[in-house]
Structure 1
Amino acid sequence: MTVETTYFLLTYDRRHGKLLGNRRFKDEAQASAVYAATEAHFRGNEAVEVVLVGADSEQTLRHTHGHYFGRQQPRGSASAAHFLAALA
C-alpha cells in the first residue's frame, strides 16, 4: 500500500508558543519553494521557526510534532515508534 505524503509548512512563534501558519501541499517542489521564500522572509528573526515536514496525515503530524500545536510530547514517548509503524 502506497501512502501519499502531504507536506506541511509550519511557521511557529517561539516567543509566544503560537503556531502562526500551517499550510499543506501535495507537491514537494511547490512546498520546497514556498518554504524557501518563507524562510527568507523570516531570516534573522530568531523568534520565528519555519519548518517543512512530510507526513501521511495531519493527525500523524500532530502526534509527532505536537509541540507546534500546543501539546508537549514527553521525551522517550512512543511517538517515534508509532510514526515508523504507520510507514510500514
Structure 2
Amino acid sequence: MYYVYILANATNVAIYTGVTRDLVRRVAQHRAHADPASYTARYDITKLVYFEATPSIQSAIAREKQSKSWSRKRKNALVNRRNPGWTDLYPTL
C-alpha cells in the first residue's frame, strides 16, 4: 500500500500533502524535523490530519497531484469529511 497524507501545523494554517509507502516512518520524520530546511520544519507542520491508502505508487502520485491542484477550501473539505476536529491521527497508526 501507498499513502497520500496531509499534515497541518498546530493552528491548521499551514498544510502539506505528501506520498509515502511507510506512513508511520514518514510522519515521524516530519515530526522530528529530519530536514531542518524543509517546508514542514520551517512551519512546524507535524500533525497528521488526513491519509488515504492507494494500491500503487502511480495512483498515490496521481491523487497527490490532484489534491495539490485543489483550492485550500476543497482540501479543508476533504479533511473535514474524515477528521472534522483536525485532531492528530498519528497516535492511531
TM-score norm. by structure 1 comes to 0.35
Larger Rg computed on CA atoms: 1
Q: Which has the higher strand share?
A: 1
Give the TM-score of the pair, scaled to structure 2: 0.34
